[in-house]
């Protein structure tokens, strides 16, 4: 296995920490009794939407872990997820989509740079075109 690019390590750990932190805050009971009452009412009226609140943090955590392991599908899943956030923000307001679009573009740039492509393909750096044939 080839060496993981530092950018992939940083992106992976950012998503692991964010996913774990957001999951933890959703699992802990709210401190404010008014907030607890509001959450209980929302959960009773919209149970499916309530459980979708857990999907984003779990997705971030899963993508981060599997990016560290070099799984190409995690890179593509993260790309689609980031793109969906840009589209959702754009539908609300094109101006509000600017920050997510720039942040997503930077992340996607680092996910698809040549060293990252080699890492996700499992190719040793510099091994392409070396002209060595093994039988």
pLDDT in tens, 2-17: 789 999 999 999 999 9
Separation between Cα atoms, residue 5 and residue 22, nearest integer Å:
26
Residue 131 has pLDDT above 50, yes or no: no
Instruction: Output the pTM of the full model.
Output: 0.79
Q: What's the mean per-residue pLDDT of the chain?
A: 86
pLDDT in tens, 69-80: 999 999 999 999
Number of Cβ atoms within 10 Å of the Cβ of 133 = 5
pLDDT of residue 98: 94
């Amino acid at each position: 296995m080839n060496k993981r690019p530092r950018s992939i390590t940083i992106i992976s750990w950012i998503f692991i920490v964010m996913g774990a932190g957001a999951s933890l805050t959703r699992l802990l009971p709210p401190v404010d009794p008014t907030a607890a009452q509001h959450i209980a009412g929302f959960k009773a009226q919209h149970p499916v939407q309530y459980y979708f609140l857990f999907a984003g943090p779990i997705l971030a955590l899963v993508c981060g872990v599997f990016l560290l392991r070099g799984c190409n599908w995690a890179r593509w899943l993260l790309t689609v997820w980031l793109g969906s956030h840009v589209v959702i923000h754009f539908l609300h307001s094109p101006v509000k989509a600017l920050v997510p679009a720039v942040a997503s573009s930077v992340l996607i740039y680092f996910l698809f740079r040549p060293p990252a492509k080699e890492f996700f393909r499992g190719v040793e750096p510099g091994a392409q075109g070396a002209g060595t044939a093994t039988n």
